[in-house]
Every structure is written in C-alpha cells, then in structure tokens.
Amino acid sequence: MRPMGTTPLDWSLVDVVVPRPSARLSGVRMAGFRHRARAPVDIAMVAHPSITLLVDLSEEPGLTYAVDGRHRSGSAVVGLLPGDLRATGRGFGECLQIRLDPVVAAAVLGGSTEICGAVASLDDLWGRAAERAEARLRATASWNERFAVAAQLLGRRLGTRRPADPEVVHAWRRTRTSRGRLRVDSLANEVGWSRKRLLSRFRAQLGITPKRAARLVRFDHAAHLLAAGHPAATVATESGYVDQSHLHRDVLEFAAQTPTALATAPWLAIDDVAWPAPSPT
C-alpha cells in the first residue's frame, strides 16, 4: 500500500547522469540523480545483486527509507535482500547512487555481512568519514567532478582493506555470468574447495549463501526481461525457472509484488539509462 500523500516517481522530472569511462572502478557503478520537482514521491526499490550506497546531496531533507516498519533518512547503504523497501520524500533533490559488487563491498564497507537484508546509515558504517565524504561531494562544481571524487574515496578504501578470498570472488563472478544457473557443487569444484568450505567462506564474506546468491541473480535477470516487455511464461523459460509458477513465487519473495506489477516498476524503468550495459571491447 502506498503511503498517503505520495505519488509514484515521474522519471521525466529526473535528470540522470552517468560517469565517463575514465571515472569508473572495477566492481563499482555510479549514477547521479537530480529531481526537478518538489512534489512528494514514493518508489519501491527492487532487490538487485549489489550493495547500494545512496548518498543524499540535497540541500533540504531528501529521501527516507522504510523497510520492515523501520525508517532511515539521509545517506544510506542498502544491503543484499533488503526486503520490502520503499524510498519516499518531497522530491529527491540530488542523490548519488553507487552500486557495489558484493566482493568489492566487502572491502569498501569493511565487511558486507553486517548489512545483508537490511538498510544502514552510511554514518553507522563509515563514522565521521561519511560526513567528510558528503562535504567533499557537495563542494563539487559538476557531476563529473563528483564521480571523480567518489571514485577516489572508494579506491582509497579498497586499497587499505583486505579483499574477499580469490575463490569467493571467482564463485561470485561465475554466479553472475551464468545468471545463477551453476550448482554449488560445480562452483566448489572450480575453486578446489569442498562444498562445506565454499558455503562457509562465501557466506562469511558476502553475507549470503551461494544458493541464495544464485536465486537473486536469476531473479534480477528475470525482472529485467519482464521490464523489457517479455511475457512471464517466456521469462520463466529464459531465466531457468521450472515453470511460470516458480517465477511467480520468486518475484513475490524478492519484490513483494506480482510479475505483472514488477514489469512496470519505476525502479527498473530507468535502468537502461542509469546503468547501461558496458560497451563491448
């Protein structure tokens, strides 16, 4: 149910900016959003196989995040599988959204397991460093400069923290590239670990089991096919679901809505603009 006094986000009122290739880091994707209207907005966020940093750069109170009856305002970190999450506010103002690959987030955030299934304040994770980062980003003259500053801040944290195990990184990458179709036993064989060790290290470092990660990746692929206008039956087959009912159950679990509703979700409608597919090399 939509909170009283809010309306769905109109993307025609939002300017979206993406960084130049030179400002990009491996495992990090960024987009800048500026909402030009002051009308109340309400948008359901859709689960995605990344950790999301939402840096609120508005000059006035910006977004409030509601999940499981709890509310947070200001800059936030959205973990994997956050549940039924909504972002509301009186216009976005300006917001920098950063999507971190989970194996990168483990280093940037000092361990991503603490926020899996939750939304945390950036202040809680970075302390006073979060306030300093926001101040630097607010002082920039353009989005290109903001992206460069953000890349510098993230790169510095990546360079001082222990990364995920190479075996965990490989297992995650293969889960993404296979769109969640590889079995845990196959991943364990590829990295030379036992199934038990892979389960333990993967969950300890990414906050999610390999099987659950595969389901999330498969759901994400299906969600974008639905948003592109493909019929649910076709999406189920293309995404590796047993049947359409199987797809329906996963969409309900991950997005708290039906496949029909997910197909028109505003959160997915902007993906091709904010998160364009990498250019072939």
Residues 91-145: pLDDT tens digits? 557 889 999 999 888 788 865 566 787 888 888 888 899 999 999 999 998 999 9
For the CA atoms of 200, 52, 55, 72, the dihedral, rounded to the nearest 10 degrees, stands at: -80
**Which pLDDT belongs to residue 6?**
43
**Which pLDDT belongs to residue 100?**
93
Q: Across all residues in the chain, what is the average pLDDT? A: 85
**Which pLDDT belongs to residue 226?**
96
* pLDDT at 255 exceeding the cut of 50: yes
The 3-class SS string of the chain reads: CCCCCCCECCHHHEEEECCCHHHCECCEEEEEEEECCCCCEEEEECCCCCEEEEEECCCCCCCEEEECCEEEECCEEECCCCCCEEEEECCCCEEEEEEECHHHHHHHCCCCHHHCCCEEEHHHHHCHHHHHHHHHHHCCCCHHHHHHHHHHHHHHHHCCCCCCCHHHHHHHHHHHHCCCCCCHHHHHHHHCCCHHHHHHHHHHHHCCCHHHHHHHHHHHHHHHHHHCCCCHHHHHHHHCCCCHHHHHHHHHHHHCCCHHHHCCCHHHHCHHHHCCCCCCC
**Span 147-168, pLDDT tens digits:** 999 999 998 888 777 778 999 9
Average pLDDT over residues 14-39: 81
**Which pLDDT belongs to residue 216?**
95
Q: Going from the N-terminus, what domains does the chain have, and what CATH number goes with each? A: 11-158 (2.60.120.10), 166-274 (1.10.10.60)
* pLDDT at 36 exceeding the cut of 70: yes
**Which pLDDT belongs to residue 39?**
63
**Span 53-104, pLDDT tens digits:** 999 888 766 677 777 667 777 888 888 887 778 777 765 578 899 999 998 8
Higher pLDDT, residue 219 or 12: 219
**Which pLDDT belongs to residue 114?**
66
Higher pLDDT, residue 86 or 209: 209
**Which pLDDT belongs to residue 99?**
93
Confidence at 278, pLDDT banded by 50, 70, 90: low
**Which pLDDT belongs to residue 196?**
97
Average pLDDT over residues 3-23: 67
